[in-house]
């Protein structure tokens, strides 16, 4: 079992070539993507890289810290991200301008921390208001929807045990289907 884990660690380390990632709050707030209505949020780590949308983050982006990465907003339209592999932890920032949908996960747990403002969320069809510094953990199988209308907020999200599109389910014609099977 140890050798299998060692091989996984080597593969991810080789892909990213970084030891850790720092996301400065002021850089996240200055990100032009988050200031665009209808954005899909800004992911900093994800389980699978999509070459049309993201580029692999590389160490040495900040000359003061050449051995690791301090994330900066992208200039060319592609998000620099840390690829963590299937079952890893995705990290994102989003706000009231981010496009949201009603969905659930069967494997992943999502944790949202409201950093500023007030965010409304519907969990299993019950509307809940969360204030700055509140946090919510949404367990697998729970239906959720962020309700951005009439609110202003910035939220950090973490998806633990992430499996990407294969574990995001949306309702289509009264049936829950994985995003991967739809698109």
Comparing CA positions, the residue from 112, 113, 173, 103 lying closest to residue 141 is 103
158 assigned to some structural domain = yes
96 assigned to some structural domain = yes
**Residue-by-residue pLDDT tens, the chain, 183 positions:** 555 555 555 555 556 667 778 888 988 888 888 888 988 888 888 888 777 777 777 665 566 666 667 777 765 667 778 888 889 899 999 999 999 899 999 999 999 999 999 999 999 999 999 999 999 999 999 999 999 888 899 999 999 999 988 999 999 999 999 998 986
At residue 92, the 3 state secondary structure works out as: strand
109 assigned to some structural domain = yes
Total domain count for the chain? Answer: 1
150 assigned to some structural domain = yes
40 assigned to some structural domain = yes
What distance in Å separates the CA atoms of residue 179 and residue 183, rounded to the nearest whole number? 6
Write the CATH number for 115: 2.60.120.10
* The token pair that represents 178 in the structure block: 């994985």
180 assigned to some structural domain = no
Q: Print the domain residue range for 48.
A: 2-175
At residue 120, the 3 state secondary structure works out as: strand
Residue 157 and residue 92 in contact, taking contact as beta carbons nearer than 8 Å: yes
181 assigned to some structural domain = no
Residue 62 and residue 69 in contact, taking contact as beta carbons nearer than 8 Å: yes
Q: Is 166 exposed, middle or buried (0-12, 13-18, 19+ CB in 10 A)?
A: middle
Give the β-pairing of 144-147 and 54-56.
Answer: unpaired
């Amino acid at each position: 079992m140890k050798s299998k884990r060692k091989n996984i660690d080597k593969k991810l380390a080789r892909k990213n070539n970084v030891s850790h990632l720092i996301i400065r709050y002021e850089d996240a707030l200055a990100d032009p993507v988050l200031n665009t209505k209808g954005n899909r949020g800004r992911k900093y780590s994800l389980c699978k890289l999509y070459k049309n949308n993201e580029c692999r983050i590389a160490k040495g982006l900040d000359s003061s810290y050449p051995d690791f990465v301090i994330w900066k907003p992208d200039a060319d339209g592609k998000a620099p991200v840390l690829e963590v592999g299937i079952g890893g932890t995705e990290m994102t920032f989003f706000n009231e301008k981010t496009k949201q949908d009603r969905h659930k996960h069967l494997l992943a747990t999502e944790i949202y921390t409201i950093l500023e403002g007030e965010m409304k969320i519907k969990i299993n069809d019950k509307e809940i208001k969360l204030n700055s510094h509140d946090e919510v953990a949404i367990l697998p199988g729970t239906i959720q929807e962020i309700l951005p209308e009439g609110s202003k907020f910035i939220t950090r999200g973490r998806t633990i045990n992430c499996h990407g599109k294969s574990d995001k389910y949306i309702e289509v014609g009264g049936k829950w289907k994985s995003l991967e099977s739809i698109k």
